[in-house]
Amino acid sequence: MTGITRRRFAAAAALLPALKLQAARLDRVGAQLYTLRSVLPQKPAETLRALEQIGYNEVEVVGGDLPKIWDALRATRLKAVAVHFDAAIFTRETAKLDAALDDAREKGFAYVLCPWVPPDQRSADAMQRLGASLNEAGRKAQARGLTLCYHNHAFEFAPMEGGGTMLDRLLRETDPSLVQLEFDIMWSQVAGVDPVSVFKKYPGRIPLVHLKNVKAGIGPRFDEKVPRDAFQEVGQGAIAVAPVLRAAVAAGAKHFFVEQDQTPGDPLDSLRNSFNYLRGLEF
């Protein structure tokens, strides 16, 4: 082996750990199927196969869609990791929780989600009640081998009387061993909060991440009343994604789901563009 060949071999060998690490992370990039709500119910098999062909390996689903798509999903290699329940199951309709958890366990999900709370349940007292309800739901989920997470929007970053934010209050009211967070980086940005700071503030509390970007100039605001074109593909918009991913990995995030609430055209095209961006990203 010549000196030049040895140097090239050594350089290539040095790249292998980084390439393996990047590939392992890409294995954990999934899609939130809410992005496909305009096409998935009509063509579940075709749409899910297309998602698989893009390169996604995991999905997060909305519970109400399961009867329409479950057979088609099982026919793919896509792994169903997480399911969003109706928020009412955690507040006004708790009698439905046990059956929903049993169904999630039987279908092989690892995570169940409380997706948000309505505007009339966002006071300090309501956060305390929600915390108690989520703790109880988390105990029931844990007994079935499931992990309960709460998914944020922008309103949770609004300041509360006495200091802190709604999210601070909710995470303080919940037991970390029972209730975790699915962190949506776009809504944090809309609220004027750097997503990196949230990962640094709550290490070990954020196993799931929603990856999406936001058009520059949106916010700060503490609601979801943003224009349709505020929602951007992961590689576009105001959020520098690479530092966010580094912070997420350092904080212990396990699964990443690309979501885009509104797309300018075919949602599969947007999911493809976001995946290709992530595939080429070094973080």
Per domain, the residue ranges of the chain are: 22-279
Whether the pTM exceeds 0.85: the reply is yes
Whole-number pLDDT of residue 198: 99
> What is the predicted pLDDT for the residue at 13?
46
**Encoding tokens for residue 16?**
């292998």
Between CA 150 and CA 157 the distance in angstroms is 14
Token pair of 146 as six digits: 């499931």
pLDDT of residue 59: 98
**What is the per-residue pLDDT across 103-128, written as a single tens digit (0 to 9) for each?**
999 999 999 999 999 998 898 899 99
Which residue type is seen at 48?
A: L
Over residues 132-177, the pLDDT tens digits come to 999 999 999 999 999 999 999 999 999 998 899 999 999 999 999 9
CATH architecture of 22-279: Alpha-Beta Barrel (3.20)
- What is the secondary structure of 160-206 as a DSSP string? -TTSSBHHHHHHHHS-TTTEEEEEEHHHHHHTT--HHHHHHHSTTS-
**Residue 161 pLDDT:** 87
pLDDT confidence of residue 157: 98
Please list the pLDDT of the chain residue by residue as tens digits (283 residues). Answer: 555 455 544 444 444 444 444 543 555 789 999 999 999 999 999 999 999 999 999 999 999 889 999 999 999 999 999 999 999 999 999 999 999 999 999 999 999 999 999 998 898 899 999 999 999 999 999 999 999 999 999 999 999 988 999 999 999 999 999 999 999 999 999 999 999 999 999 999 999 999 999 999 999 999 999 999 999 999 999 999 999 999 999 999 999 999 999 999 999 999 999 999 999 887 7
Q: Cα separation of 252 and 49, whole Å?
A: 30
CA distances from 165 to 37, 124, 152, 200 (A): 31, 10, 12, 16
**Distance from C-alpha of 73 to C-alpha of 147, rounded to nearest angstrom:** 22
State residue 282's pLDDT score: 79
